[in-house]
């Protein structure tokens, strides 16, 4: 459904990843979906040029997040939130439940 | 008091399984060590381990809190080994929501939803606390996702 809307699977996946996790970087997103890196980087770049995303360097990594000043971003995120609720359980478990909360040093995962 | 993931396990009849036991206590490290060593545990880095007990045990210092709220409500669960003091379902849910609110941790959101589906919780208190934390929007996301899960139930564990 979203692939048709965004014009391709990578675009849809980048959007869903960022709505789910709030931010992300190209390698992380590619690794999550077991995708090639370059297409993911190209999508992130396109969305940034379109004003949907912003990025900043954190060390040597370029971290992408939603553009807080993008006029279309709030409505787009509403749409993506609905789409995330419709993701089948197996897909949700595979892609969208990576741990993000802190874990103290010395505590096994 | 049992807090964290193990509290979620307790409130969801193990639909979510944690491999840690996090205990909130005001006792000092010396007192804790004396009891744990006596029980046959040994300290491995920051956690306690026992050869016949799979989960690791960790002690959370000071009164536990979720944001601006200190967790003071607790309940007693009776087991065949004795009773266990555990944080209430409502406060356990808040604890999980806090991780979702502050770190976008979706695992924690799923655990919060599991608690809500297995226990009676105080939605008004959760809403008030969420607003006090400045997380009204994310609280809305939690309520919406909970409603969506109720419409299409999943047998999957979080």
Flag whether residue A97 sits within 8 Å of chain B, measured between CB atoms: yes
Distance from CA of A78 to the nearest CA of B (A): 10
The CA distance from A53 to B20, in Å, is 37
Tokens 């509290």 map to which residue?
B7
DSSP letter at B81 equals: T
Closest of A93, A89, A104, A96 to residue A24, by C-alpha = A96
CATH of domain A2-95: 1.10.10.10
Chain A partners of B141 at a C-beta cutoff of 8 Å? 81
Burial of B51 (0-12, 13-18, 19+ CB in 10 A): exposed
The CA distance from A72 to B105, in Å, is 25
- In chain A (109 residues long), the average pLDDT of successive 10-residue segments reads 88 96 96 97 96 95 95 94 92 94 80
**pLDDT tens per residue, range B20-69:** 899 988 888 899 999 999 999 999 888 999 999 889 999 987 667 777 77
Tokens 């969420």 map to which residue?
B130
Residue of chain A with shortest Cα separation from B138? A81
In a mutational test of the B interface, the residue from A90, A100, A102 whose CB has the highest number of chain B CBs within 10 Å is: A100
Q: Which residue has the higher pLDDT, B12 or A103?
A: B12
The CA distance from B20 to A108, in Å, is 9
Tell me the domain boundaries of chain A: 2-95
Tell me the domain boundaries of chain B: 2-26+62-151
CB-based contact B47 A107, cutoff 8 Å: yes
């Amino acid at each position: 459904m979203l692939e048709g809307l965004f014009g391709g699977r990578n675009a849809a996946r980048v959007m869903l990843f960022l709505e789910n996790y709030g931010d992300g970087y190209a390698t992380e997103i590619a690794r999550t979906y077991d995708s090639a890196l370059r297409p993911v980087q190209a999508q992130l770049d396109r969305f940034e040029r379109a004003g949907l995303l912003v990025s900043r360097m954190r060390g040597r990594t370029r971290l992408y997040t939603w553009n807080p000043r993008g006029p279309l971003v709030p409505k787009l995120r509403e749409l993506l939130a609905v789409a995330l609720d419709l993701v089948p359980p197996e897909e949700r478990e595979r892609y969208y439940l990576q741990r993000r909360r802190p874990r103290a040093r010395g505590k096994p995962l | 008091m049992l807090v964290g993931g193990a509290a979620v396990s307790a409130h969801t009849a193990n639909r979510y399984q944690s491999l840690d036991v996090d205990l909130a206590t005001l006792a000092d490290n010396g007192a804790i060590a004396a009891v744990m060593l006596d029980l046959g545990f040994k300290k491995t880095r920051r956690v306690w381990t026992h050869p016949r007990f799979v989960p690791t045990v960790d002690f959370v210092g000071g009164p536990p809190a979720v944001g601006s709220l200190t967790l003071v409500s607790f309940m007693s669960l009776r087991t065949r080994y004795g009773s266990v003091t555990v944080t209430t379902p409502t406060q356990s849910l808040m604890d999980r929501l806090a991780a979702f609110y502050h770190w976008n941790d979706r695992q924690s959101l799923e655990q919060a939803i599991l608690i809500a589906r297995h226990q009676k919780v105080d939605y008004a208190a959760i809403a008030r606390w969420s607003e006090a934390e400045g997380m009204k929007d994310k609280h809305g996301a939690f309520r919406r996702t909970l409603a969506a899960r109720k419409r299409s139930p999943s047998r999957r564990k979080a």
